[in-house]
Amino acid sequence: MDLQFVRKCIKIVNDAQIAELEIEEDGKRLRITRSFANETHVMSMPYPAAQQPVAAQVPAAPAAPTAAMETAPAGEKHHEVHSPIVGTFYRSSSPDADPYIQVGDTVGKGQVLCIIEAMKIMNEIESDASGRIVKVLVENGQPVEYNQPLFLIDPA
């Protein structure tokens, strides 16, 4: 990607007053995010996404699984809810509040499941399917990557 292309993308983000733009082309990814203070941040990764080490992105498994991290029954197909952004995963709106959902809860499409903090902004993540929560795949306070699975939902 050349500098003129990046500048045009920044202008588009500013003119359209959108918060984020992400483009992937020829194995290069350009992500532009705009804060509410009209600051623009540009992050470009010149290496192909396929060459990223996957093991380095996966946090180590806890020694003993918690109730929220119970294993889903093997062989069953479940709907995965993925993170739409990079940030920090929180199960509740504040440290002293109850989690939005628990394993076993029934959720509807559009119901808030968690919060992901990105750039000091709390983003509510909503369910994109209805069903029963089978598994929470991330511990509270852990960092999450773009498109990382967060929850398993049994759409039955």
Residue 146 confidence (pLDDT) above 50: yes
Q: Is the pLDDT of residue 68 over 70?
A: no
CA 39 to chain centre: 22
Beta bridge mates, 126: 112
Residue 52 has pLDDT above 60, yes or no: no
- CB-based contact 105:117 (threshold 8 Å): no
94 pairs with which residues across the strands? none
Q: Check pLDDT > 90 for residue 7.
A: no
| Confidence (pLDDT) at 3 | 76
Q: Which residues pair with 41 in a beta bridge?
A: 33
Q: Is the pLDDT of residue 111 over 90?
A: yes
Residue 112 contacts residue 126 (beta carbons within 8 Å)? yes
Question: What pLDDT score does 40 carry?
Answer: 44
Q: What is the pTM of this model?
A: 0.53
Question: What distance in Å separates the CA atoms of residue 36 and residue 119, rounded to the nearest whole number?
Answer: 10
